[in-house]
């Protein structure tokens, strides 16, 4: 299936990028210098690299009672674009893939911890979700989530120790991820969700919490991933902020398409507007590098 | 009340330190160069400084639904010696108190998060503890704990950004704290506690989990606090390792006195042995500086 997006370049000309297969057509419309790579395989390869990095980082070692659930819960959590976007942003600014690998792994770990805790059966959760993926006792899942988060920060801090020269960037990334995952980011989104649930079906509150979840779990978290990748790849401040905005639009699009049930014309127009804003941010980068990362808005 | 400890110096001579008041007597037994400071007020002043630092770091700002529970749960959690020991270790190696303040605050935050999650009423916790200090709904307490941990790492990382020169030490401290709080530290101790509870009263398992809790929550966490303080105060590798061992003994003593119910002669002899080992580690430091920190073993 071909999923295309319109790139509004300089507000006038348009370029159509093919995102899934049909490379011949997209090749004929790109400058000769562009090394064409199937974007879906680019995204898949980023995912695969982050997972491989994490599998090495979480060995099945003693105490098995600790590491076996951690291993399972990290790789069973739903995938998001955040870790891959982090690595892609690093590559767009000219960085090497391995420079962003620790941050991408940390982001994947933190999201797995959040997902694990979201599914805990607490006594004040009146309508427990279907526990299809609940393999361990709640006590163990609580503790595993609690163990995963510091482990993510450890991986990040260790990556700054090896070379030393990037310790400033690593500290900055730790601050970014702490904020995006913490009380003013994902956790705030979850608070709103809890309060939305407690309001027992009041539509306005439900809508408000959904909007907040899209912004915090979607927009801001993807923005954080992209900004962190750009920082670690050595991007300029302008590049970092452009990629932060690009990530924000990516996350908003993905959140809207996943969480809004009625995919009416109005929603799709909003999505299209966000795509255009996202692509506008990419215009400042080397044209040979923007094709792979532009795939994230073609979901 | 006077609580004294015997300092075995060079294996022969002994010096008695008064730890709580009765300063006149201790003064007469210390070299004239020793600037005597009531140790209990030293410890109290360290605690007060860390709390003041944290109160500034956690302002009562919007969203109040997030920050009000965070504020409450951080300051309602039981106090341990870990944050104060971190600052004391920094001062022993010649560092300034403010150099260790972010790490001490992060340690206090992480312990509050652990305490909050330990008291969550999960559906598979058969015997819920008395919920005397449970002010918020479990959902909110879960999320607050989840928000506190990244906030601790944020405070730490920010302290490395301000000056930049200590970014290497900060990264090292982040690794230390991640490990001590994570799956091979406090969380492992909690796993053992959960498994001990599930074994439904088997004494050997109960004893094993208690031993593990004393080592992970007591020994290793205090060791981490002291080592981090020494790193941030610019201590040498030898000083860091000495203070790590000192912290370990402090934590083991405190854990044994708190968790072991039968304070028989055997236990008190073990405690005394640990005190002697702890004081031996302090001998390498400037005699004018060891009095305040030696207070931690006189509990």
Residues B282-299 pLDDT 10s: 999 988 888 889 989 876
Comparing B170 with B21, the larger pLDDT belongs to B170
Distance from C-alpha of A183 to C-alpha of B69, rounded to nearest angstrom: 11
Average pLDDT over residues B111-139: 76
pLDDT of the residue at B278: 96
Which residues of chain A lie closer than 8 angstroms to B209, CB-CB?
A: none
Cβ–Cβ contact B169 with A under 8 A: no
In the predicted model, what is the mean pLDDT of residues A10-36?
31
pLDDT at A164: 58
Query: Is the model more confident about B259 or about A117?
Result: A117
Model confidence at A108: pLDDT above 70: yes
Q: Which residue has the higher pLDDT, A165 or A176?
A: A176
> What pLDDT, on a 0 to 100 scale, did the predictor assign at position B138?
87
Measured CA to CA, the distance from residue A40 to residue A21 in angstroms comes to: 8
- Mutation pick from B139, B158, B180, B192 vs chain A, by most beta carbons of A within 10 Å, is B139
> Residues 208 to 227 of A: which have CB under 8 A from any B CB?
none
Residue B8, pLDDT > 50, answer no
Chain A nearest C-alpha distance from B173 (Å)? 9
Q: What is the mean pLDDT of chain A?
A: 80
**Residue A126: predicted pLDDT:** 58
Higher pLDDT, B198 or A92: A92
Indicate the residue of B66, B160, B178 with minimum beta-carbon distance to A171: B160
Q: Is the dihedral of CA A105, A106, A110, A116 positive or negative?
A: positive
- Please state the rounded mean pLDDT for residues A245-270: 89
- For testing contact with chain A, the best of B111, B138, B178, B193 (most A CBs within 10 A): B178
Percent of chain B with pLDDT over 70: 78
B171 → chain A, closest CA residue: A157
Lowest mean pLDDT among A186-190, A194-198, B129-133, B287-291: B129-133
CA A114, CA A107: separation in Å to the nearest integer? 11
pLDDT digits (tens, 9 = 90+) for B27-38: 333 333 333 344
**Banded pLDDT at A12 (limits 50, 70, 90):** very low
Q: What is the mean pLDDT of residues A227-255?
A: 97
Asked whether the beta carbons of residue A174 and residue B153 sit closer than 8 angstroms, the reply is yes
Where do the domains of chain A lie, and which CATH numbers do they carry?
A: 40-297 (1.10.600.10)
Q: Does A283 have pLDDT greater than 50?
A: yes
Q: Is any Cβ of chain B less than 8 angstroms from the Cβ of A175?
A: yes
Q: Does B163 touch chain A (CB under 8 A)?
A: no
Residue B204 is predicted with a pLDDT of: 57
User: What is the predicted pLDDT for the residue at A248?
Assistant: 97
> Which one of B124, B140, B183 has the shortest CB-CB distance to A194?
B140
Residues of B in contact with A153 (CB under 8 A): 150, 153, 174, 178
Nearest to A192 by CA among B63, B151, B92, B233: B63
pLDDT of residue B215: 86
Q: Which of A17-31, A92-106, B22-36: highest mean pLDDT?
A: A92-106
CA angle A136, A142, A143 (to 5 degrees): 95
Distance CA A135, CA A141 (A): 9
Are A103 and A156 contacting, i.e. CB atoms less than 8 angstroms apart?
yes
A60, pLDDT greater than 60: yes
pLDDT at B212: 79
Which residues in chain B touch residue A140, judged by CB atoms under 8 angstroms apart? 191, 194
Mutual orientation of helices A82-92 and A287-294 as an angle, nearest 10°? 180
CA distance B110 to chain A (A): 10
- pLDDT computed for residue A116 by the predictor: 92
Select, from the ranges A125-129, A227-231, B6-10, the one with the highest average predicted confidence (pLDDT): A227-231
Tokens 């073990």 belong to B270
A142 vs B120, B168, B181: nearest CB = B120
Residue A36 in this model has a pLDDT that exceeds 50: no
Residues in chain A with CB shorter than 8 Å from the CB of B175 are: 154, 157-158, 161
d(CA A97, CA A86): 10
B5: which strand partners? B17
Residue B205: the pLDDT is 59
Is residue A22's pLDDT more than 90?
no
Comparison of pLDDT for A126 and B91, the residue scoring more: B91
Instruction: Look at A275-279, B50-54, B291-295 and tell me which has the smallest mean pLDDT.
Output: B291-295
Relative to beta strand A13-18, strand A4-9 is: antiparallel
What is the structure's pLDDT at B87? 97
**Which candidate from B66, B146, B175 shows the least CB-CB separation from A154?**
B175
The whole-number pLDDT of residue A27 equals 30
The 10 Å Cβ neighbour count of residue B190 is 25
B66 interfacial to chain A (CB closer than 8 Å): yes
Contact yes or no for A125 and B139 at CB 8 A: yes
Confidence at B121, pLDDT banded by 50, 70, 90: confident
For residue B197, the model assigns a pLDDT of 63
pLDDT band, residue A163 (cuts 50/70/90): low
Contact list in A for residue B156 (CB cut-off 8 A) is 174
Terminus-to-terminus CA distance in chain B, angstroms? 12
Contact A153 B139 (CB under 8 A): no
Residues B175, A161: C-beta atoms closer than 8 Å: yes
Q: How far is B181 from chain A (nearest CA, A)?
A: 7
Higher pLDDT, B278 or A262: B278
A20, two tokens: 């899934």
Q: What is the pLDDT of residue A77?
A: 92
Instruction: Write out residues 124-143 of B within 8 Å (CB-CB) of A.
Output: 124-125, 137-140, 142-143
* Residues A68-84, mean pLDDT to the nearest whole number: 93
Contacts of A172 in chain B (CB under 8 A): 157, 161
Q: Do B151 and A120 touch (CB under 8 A)?
A: no
């Amino acid at each position: 299936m071909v999923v295309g997006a319109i790139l509004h370049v300089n507000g006038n000309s348009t370029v159509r990028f093919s995102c899934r297969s049909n490379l011949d057509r997209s090749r004929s419309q790109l400058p000769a210098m562009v090394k064409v790579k199937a974007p879906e395989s680019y995204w898949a390869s980023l995912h695969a690299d982050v997972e491989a990095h994490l599998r090495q980082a979480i060995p099945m070692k003693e105490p098995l009672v600790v590491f076996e659930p951690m291993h399972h819960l990290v790789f069973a959590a739903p995938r998001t674009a955040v870790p891959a976007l982090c690595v892609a942003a690093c590559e767009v600014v000219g960085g090497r893939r391995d420079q962003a690998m620790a941050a991408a792994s940390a982001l994947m770990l933190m999201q797995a911890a959040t997902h694990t805790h979201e599914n805990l059966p607490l006594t004040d959760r009146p309508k427990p979700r279907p526990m299809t993926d609940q393999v361990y006792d709640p006590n163990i899942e609580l503790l595993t989530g609690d163990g995963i988060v510091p482990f993510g920060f450890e991986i990040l801090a260790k990556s700054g120790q090896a070379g030393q020269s990037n310790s400033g960037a690593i500290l900055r990334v730790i601050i970014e991820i702490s904020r995006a995952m913490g009380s003013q980011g994902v956790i705030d989104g979850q608070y709103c969700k809890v309060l939305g649930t407690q309001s027992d079906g009041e539509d306005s509150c439900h809508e408000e919490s959904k909007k907040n979840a899209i912004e915090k779990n979607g927009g801001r978290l993807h923005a954080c991933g992209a900004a962190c990748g750009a920082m670690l790849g050595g991007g300029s401040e302008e590049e970092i902020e452009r990629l932060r905005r690009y990530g924000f639009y990516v996350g908003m699009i993905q959140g809207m398409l996943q969480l809004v049930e009625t995919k009416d014309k109005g929603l799709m127009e909003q999505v299209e507007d966000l795509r255009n804003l996202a692509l506008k941010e990419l215009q400042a980068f080397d044209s040979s590098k923007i094709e792979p990362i532009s795939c994230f808005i073609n979901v």
